[in-house]
Amino acid sequence: MKYDITITGGGIIGSAIAYFLARTSQAGSIAVIEPDSSYQMAATPHSAGGIRQLFSLPENIWMSRYSVGFYADFAQTMAVDGYPAEIDFRRQGYLFVVGPKGAKRLEANYQRQANEGVRLELLDRTALNRRFPSIGSDDLALAAYSPDDGWLDPASALQGFRRKAKSLGVTYIEDKVTALETSAHKIKAARLQHGDLVKADIFVNAAGAWATEVAAMAGMPLPVEPYCRLQHYWLCQAKIEPLPLVKDETGLFFRPEGPGFVGGRPSWDIEPGFTFASDEGRFSGYFDGYFERVVWPLLVQRAPKFDAVRYERTWAGHYAQNMLDGNMILGPWAGGASNFYVACGFSGHGVMHAPAVGLALSELILNGRYSTMDLERMSYRRIVNNEPYKEKGII
Ligand SMILES: Cc1cc2nc3c(=O)[nH]c(=O)nc-3n(C[C@H](O)[C@H](O)[C@H](O)COP(=O)(O)OP(=O)(O)OC[C@H]3O[C@@H](n4cnc5c(N)ncnc54)[C@H](O)[C@@H]3O)c2cc1C
């Protein structure tokens, strides 16, 4: 088998890259190698689907701005045979809330976001109480509210990219890359679990939390580790006004979902690695009773009406956490095989950045440079040079 471009990993990132390459009709033949078309272990369907422009780094703001517009038109842009690709994009806003110590940083970020053209408001405590009376604000000083942001159904967005890419001629191979064959500083072929050899001119590693494993097959070190993140769904007995996605300095976030709420609170006290629920849906060890023990007390502090919740369920997904700086790594393997590209390390932002990443990487692969937005600072070179490029404030 021979393709012009093969992409390892068909989650939202690999599928968005495939779509943006294919829509140019310059890319030639494209294959996505993905072992699990049900995406049972992939991060994408387990995500909260939050889409926000509240970042401090310009690249993250640019990517989100592009993605917000793209997702707003997704149903029509990604329609296949006249069937719209519905993703239930709810532009109900994002709300970052901080205490006195975080206020200066929130204000600086607000300034930068506003300068980049993001529509948002700073709310002091009085304005916050008026707008969102259910938010507990005793410990808060300031909030940033971006009404154009929101959330979508990430599994539908992934399927939308995948279906459209296939309709444009992309081949999805249901198999797993187990080895990469190299010669003369180039990757020549990918060996698959079922024995096939796939040759290509260009290889893209979009294997999410498994990206380090795939890169190692070519001898490329990556600082990306799987980090288990639990997400919970609960119902609330009390009436609460329509809320945006709320996030605070403890890492707690929540948003409405159907009749209830989804949310969680990432923990950094765990070792990297994969953790999944038992067949009965239970978590053991550190995550045993995590909602009651860790998340619920924080929820009650942030929204006292959550005192009366009915807990429904918990599920796990895995961040592909870039241990250097928590930001994505995008572009060719600087210092290694020149035809090996990575798109990984998205930490908690891969769904919101997928359209921008797909567009930008397709430009880089096909034209040798970025034209819509300059993402050079997100390249692998900062990993080689050990130069972290970090977000400031709530991440
Ligand atoms: C609980 C949780 C909440 C989140 N909330 C948000 C949010 O609100 N907003 C947001 O933007 N992001 C969020 N994220 C992050 C987001 O889900 C990820 O950044 C994004 O889904 C990454 O997409 P991906 O395609 O890189 O990875 P994945 O979806 O994991 O896809 C990677 C694919 O690679 C495949 N693969 C692995 N190894 C191989 C191999 N050897 N050969 C071939 N294929 C292989 C896997 O089968 C998998 O399907 C959240 C994540 C979690 C876990």
| CA–centroid distance, residue 131 to ligand 1 (Å) | 34
- Ligand 1 geometric centre to CA of 40 (Å): 11
Domains and CATH numbers, the chain: 2-81+153-223+323-384 (3.50.50.60), 94-150+225-322 (3.30.9.10)
Q: What is the pLDDT of residue 172?
A: 98
Which ligand 1 atom sits closest to the C-alpha of 44? 21
pLDDT on residue 92:
97
Task: Give 99: exposed, middle or buried? Use CB within 10 Å, 0-12, 13-18, 19+.
Answer: middle
What's residue 270's pLDDT?
Answer: 85
State mean pLDDT over 62-89. Answer: 98
Confidence band (pLDDT; 50, 70, 90) for 279? confident
Please work out whether the CB of residue 321 comes within 6 Å of at least one atom of ligand 1.
no
Pick from 34, 47, 65, 322 the residue to mutate for probing ligand 1's pocket: most ligand atoms within 8 Å of its CB.
Answer: 47
For the segment 329-354, the average pLDDT, to the nearest whole number, is 96
Q: In the predicted model, is pLDDT for residue 17 greater than 90?
A: yes
Mean pLDDT of 197-223: 98
- Give the position, in ligand 1's atom list, of the atom nearest the Cα of 316: 1
Tell me the pLDDT tens digit for each residue of 137-188.
999 999 999 999 999 999 999 999 999 999 999 999 999 999 999 987 999 9
User: Which carries the bigger pLDDT value, residue 326 or residue 271?
Assistant: 326
- 314-321 mean pLDDT: 95
pLDDT mean over 211-234: 97
pLDDT for residue 282:
84
The model carries a pTM of: 0.98
For the chain, what is the mean pLDDT?
96
Shortest-distance Cα residue to atom 45 of ligand 1 = 9
Q: Is the pLDDT of residue 368 over 80?
A: yes
**pLDDT > 70 in the chain, percent:** 100
CA of 1 to the centre of ligand 1 (A): 27
Residue 286 is predicted with a pLDDT of: 85
Q: Which tens digits make up the pLDDT trace of 224-239?
A: 999 999 999 999 989 9
